């Protein structure tokens, strides 16, 4: 029996297992669900053990537990692959607007509804089905690559213990390639793989002026107004062409390759439809780049919030004592968060008169962007594997947000490949999350083909 | 007996009367004190009647009552003078930090402490003493000018019914000059008269972008950020030289005369001391003007408050749906509030891309600036009268704030003269308000001399 045949035959068992797992409300953000997150980890550990992984363990993190599993390849020289996913889920209550119980998954035709069905339980579970199908098709007793899985339990809470977990277990997690299954494809009709996620660093800027709010009749026009200074600073963050005007901000930025640019341009992007989704009257951004390029391959500076002085009803004629802004920077491959932070500090120091107070407080060290090298063997293998499974050309996308994936690339020094079967329309993080079961099955099939392709590379 | 002699002899009675009036807590802002405001009006009406004013009446306003009194001149051709002041006071409670009961005035040497002692009961009451002293000195039975007094009861609450009161009583209030006794002098050693107050108009500016806050990972860099647009707008309110950059903002602005500029420069202004009072690390403002000129004779634009997006703790990586600012404009003589409002609307419309929403909501029609013509007969007469009373040169000041005085100039069409004996250090609107009794007596003396000077003008 071939891979596809095996997977189609076992669809019923796969869906039943996924329903069972979805029924465990592993909401990492809610302390009341701590026990459920642990039960979810135990469920997965047992499932992976049942699948045949010789090693399947709970890993404690100081927060919510992760699951680690390993299945050595038959051939000792085979490549080592680490699969990353997470077993915790976003909060969900019927009162939020769900049509059904979010933790009692329901199947309607090809669609399975429930919290975590897409993000990320369905995408973790297809790996168990994929490796089973590969072994059934080949008749082997071990996969063609050494398969390691790390499935964390705090992704929806910002992965606070994940980097430390990687550091502590660097040896056991060492790999030739890390396969990330926690993203989305362009659409069911246009399968795609993500090849990059932006990084992030965020700060709060405070400009201070007089010791207290002062009356604008008595002092206005003759003392500096920190709100005005801050407005000038924020207005100066971008130039007229929409570029970030912080000197040195673009240091090291990797420009998109012509090949990737051409592939991005093939995506059937409908700007009007996208604007409706954004609820925005108009597109904006950096000159010389398409909307998708602005979202995926260009770094940005964004004012997330600001406040100063009187913000209540009516009039208060004051010069405010201070002004504040929260500003975040999306980063792209090649940018170092620490360097960007230093450049932002210098920019603020340059722009605020020395007599006024100016503080820039970053929320942490920031997150580096991550990207796959689209010319690499691993990406080419994954793309071919997906094309074999889907029977059509696979395009490239990126994501504008950030996740713990950059830690994997940085700490383990492994190239990343994103292999996913979710869709943007799956309503992850929203009521009525769903997943398309046929796409999960294609994910399993793609994984099986990918292990074959990577495993085959050890031979000449 | 001359004017000064009479006043010195009656100091005790004057202070006793002022204490009695201060004891009535005529706090117009507090509904619990409505009865006290009425009692205060009745007290003043009776006092002015006792002084000899043939007419002394309560005037209803729809809000708190005002007091009107009139004493016709002996000579029918004599000029008509309207004195303006107010009998309501700022709130005051011992718990705010008063060392004594604010409504039980205490005399310590030359200083009388109590709410309203300076602002404005002391300055209203010296007019009663002044006219008595003038009559005692001349032996006449009526003053040398027709003296009208209008003492309102809502000044500390923004004078909401004052303009309508003036409109309704235009005929009975008609005058050749309006004497305003509700300002301050530079210091006890440097007597001065105010010759102008700035006007004011204020607005709230709202810029809207996406329908809701959107995720900056998914949309940041490709949709317009209203906080950024607003920051650009606010940063563009001023040019590099500190001038307001709204086209047409300066239309009609009266430049300060060389004479007034020279007199302002004579004031012993200590910038370091002023900065300490302001609590500001540095002075700022429009190039080419001194600190006092920036505060008194130049119009300004000031951001009083602004807010957008996430203003709480932590990070929220959003593009905010809207951004807001409260901006007020101090106006100087020659500027029309309506014209400034129209110019600000045009500025905002020009600066915000048409696809985004931009609203400018003004808080009302605004307040025109007011000023005395320092070359006018009335100002010259008042200055001479004060110089006679104080025995030294009287300088000119202005005030940076605004009051109902502009309504008097506009509605009654009368030139304004500011005759006051309060000090900036009197802590009006603050705990431990006080007044220097000798200065109130000088105020009474100045008033008596001023009526003589103005009355004398009907003769060749």
Sign of CA dihedral A293, A294, A300, A305: negative
Q: Is B38 within the bounds of a domain?
A: yes
Q: Is cis: bond before A120, omega within 30 of 0?
A: yes
Cross-chain Cβ contact A315/B330 below 8 Å: no
Rounded to 5°, angle at Cα A368 from A362 and A372 = 165
- Chain A interface mutation, best of B245, B249, B250, B302, highest count of A Cβ atoms under 10 Å: B302
Q: Is B412 within the bounds of a domain?
A: yes
Q: Is B404 within the bounds of a domain?
A: yes
Instruction: Return the closest-CA partner of residue A234 out of B47, B233, B10.
Output: B233
B150 vs B136: CA distance, rounded Å:
24
Q: Is A97 within the bounds of a domain?
A: yes
Contacts of B123 (CB under 8 A, 6+ apart): B85, B181, B182, B420, B421, B422, B440, B443
B154 vs B89: CA distance, rounded Å:
9
Q: Is the predicted pLDDT of residue A458 greater than 70, yes or no?
A: no
Report the domain count for chain B: 2
Q: Is B172 within the bounds of a domain?
A: yes
Question: Nearest-CA distance from B358 to chain A in Å?
Answer: 13
Backbone angles phi, psi at A449, to 5 degrees: -65, -35
- Domain check: are A347 and A383 in the same one? no
CATH number, domain of A204, equals: 3.30.70.360
B336 vs B366: CA distance, rounded Å:
9
Band the pLDDT of A404: cuts 50, 70, 90: confident
- Domain check: are B66 and B126 in the same one? yes
Q: Is the predicted pLDDT of residue A258 greater than 90, yes or no?
A: yes
Question: Nearest-CA distance from B438 to chain A in Å?
Answer: 26
Strand partners of residue A147: A71, A81
DSSP state of A416: E
Q: Which residue of B has its CA nearest to A237?
A: B228
- Domain check: are B390 and B449 in the same one? yes
Q: Is the predicted pLDDT of residue A281 greater than 90, yes or no?
A: no
Mark which of A344, A362, A380 sits at the end of a domain: A362
- Domain check: are B409 and B441 in the same one? yes
- Domain check: are B70 and B178 in the same one? yes
Q: What is the DSSP string of A328-354?
A: EEEE-TT--HHHHHHHHHHHHHHHS-T
- 460 residues of chain B, pLDDT tens digit each: 899 999 999 999 999 999 999 999 999 999 999 999 999 999 999 999 999 999 999 999 999 999 999 999 989 899 999 999 999 999 999 998 999 999 999 999 999 999 999 999 999 999 999 999 999 999 999 999 999 999 999 998 889 999 999 999 999 999 999 999 999 999 999 999 999 999 999 999 999 998 888 888 888 899 999 999 999 999 999 999 999 999 999 999 989 999 999 999 999 999 999 999 888 989 999 999 999 999 999 999 999 999 999 998 888 889 999 999 999 999 999 999 999 999 999 999 999 998 899 999 999 899 999 999 999 999 999 999 999 999 999 999 999 888 888 899 999 999 999 999 999 889 888 889 999 999 999 999 999 999 999 998 654 4
Question: Could you report how far apart the first and last alpha carbons of chain B are, in Å?
Answer: 27
- Domain check: are A333 and A248 in the same one? yes
A169 vs A194: CA distance, rounded Å:
26
- Domain check: are A177 and A37 in the same one? yes
Could you list the residue range(s) of the whole structural domain that residue A211 is in?
199-253+299-362
Mark which of A362, A385, A411 sits at the end of a domain: A362
- Domain check: are A7 and A141 in the same one? yes
- Domain check: are A344 and A415 in the same one? no
- Domain check: are A343 and A383 in the same one? no
- Domain check: are A106 and A244 in the same one? no
Q: Is B291 within the bounds of a domain?
A: no
Q: Which of B220, B238, B282 is facing A400, going by the closest CB pair?
A: B220
- Chain A interface mutation, best of B209, B210, B219, B222, highest count of A Cβ atoms under 10 Å: B222
Q: Is the predicted pLDDT of residue A302 greater than 60, yes or no?
A: yes
Mark which of B307, B335, B362 sits at the end of a domain: B362
DSSP state of A209: -
Backbone angles phi, psi at A203, to 5 degrees: -145, 165
CATH number, domain of A30, equals: 3.40.630.10
Q: Is A277 within the bounds of a domain?
A: no
Q: Which two tokens stand for residue A397?
A: 């996308």
Whether B408 and B416 have beta carbons less than 8 Å apart is answered as yes
Q: Is A260 within the bounds of a domain?
A: no
Question: Nearest-CA distance from B223 to chain A in Å?
Answer: 5
- ipTM, interface predicted TM-score of the complex: 0.87
Strand partners of residue A451: none
- Domain check: are B107 and B192 in the same one? yes
Contacts of A279 in chain B (CB under 8 A): 210-212, 214, 321
Q: Is the predicted pLDDT of residue A88 greater than 70, yes or no?
A: yes
> How far is residue B402 from each of residues A190, B94, B280, B421, measured CA to CA in Å?
66, 28, 22, 18
A266 vs B388: CA distance, rounded Å:
90
For residue A108, the SS3 value is: strand
């Amino acid at each position: 029996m071939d891979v596809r045949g095996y997977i189609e035959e076992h669809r019923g068992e796969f869906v039943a297992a996924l329903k069972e797992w979805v029924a465990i409300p592993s909401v990492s953000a809610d302390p009341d669900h701590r026990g459920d997150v642990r039960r979810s980890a135990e469920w997965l550990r047992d499932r992976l053990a049942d699948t045949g992984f010789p090693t399947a363990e709970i890993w404690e993190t100081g927060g919510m537990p992760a699951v680690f599993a390993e299945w050595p390849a038959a051939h000792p020289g085979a490549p080592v692959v680490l699969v990353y996913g997470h077993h915790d889920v976003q909060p969900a209550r019927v009162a939020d607007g769900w049509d059904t119980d979010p933790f009692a998954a329901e199947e309607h035709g090809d669609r399975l509804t429930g919290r975590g069905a897409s993000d990320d339980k369905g995408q973790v579970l297809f790996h168990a089905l994929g490796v089973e199908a590969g072994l059934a098709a080949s008749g082997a007793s071990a996969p063609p690559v050494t398969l390691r899985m790390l499935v964390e339990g705090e992704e929806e809470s910002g992965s606070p213990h994940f980097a430390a977990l990687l550091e502590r277990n660097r040896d056991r997690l060492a790999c030739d390639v890390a396969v990330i299954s926690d993203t989305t494809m362009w659409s069911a009709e246009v399968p795609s793989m993500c090849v990059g996620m932006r990084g992030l660093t965020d700060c709060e800027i405070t400009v201070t002026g007089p010791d207290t709010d002062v009356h604008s009749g008595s002092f206005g026009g003759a003392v500096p107004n920190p709100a005005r200074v801050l407005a000038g600073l924020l207005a100066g963050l971008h130039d007229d062409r929409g570029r970030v005007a912080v000197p040195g901000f673009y240091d090291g930025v990797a420009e998109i390759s012509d090949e990737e640019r051409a592939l991005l341009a093939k995506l059937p992007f409908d700007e009007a439809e996208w604007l409706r989704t954004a609820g925005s009257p108009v597109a904006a951004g950096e000159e010389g780049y398409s909307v998708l390029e602005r979202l995926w391959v260009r770094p940005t500076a964004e004012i997330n919030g600001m406040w100063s002085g009187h913000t209540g009803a009516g009039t208060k004629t004051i010069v405010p004592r201070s002004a504040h802004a929260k500003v975040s920077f999306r980063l792209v491959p090649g940018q170092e968060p620490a360097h960007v932070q230093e450049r932002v500090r210098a920019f603020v120091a340059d722009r605020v008169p020395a007599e006024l107070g100016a503080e820039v407080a970053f929320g942490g060290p920031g997150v580096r962007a991550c990207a796959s090298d689209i010319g690499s063997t691993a990406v080419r293998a994954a793309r071919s594997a997906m094309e074999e499974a889907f029977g059509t050309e696979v395009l490239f996308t990126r994501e504008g947000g950030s996740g713990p994936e950059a830690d994997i690339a940085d700490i383990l020094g492994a190239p990343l490949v994103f292999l996913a079967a979710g869709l943007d329309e799956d309503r992850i993080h929203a009521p009525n999350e769903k997943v398309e079961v046929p796409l999960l099955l294609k994910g399993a099939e793609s994984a099986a083909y990918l292990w074959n392709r990577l495993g085959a590379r050890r031979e000449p």
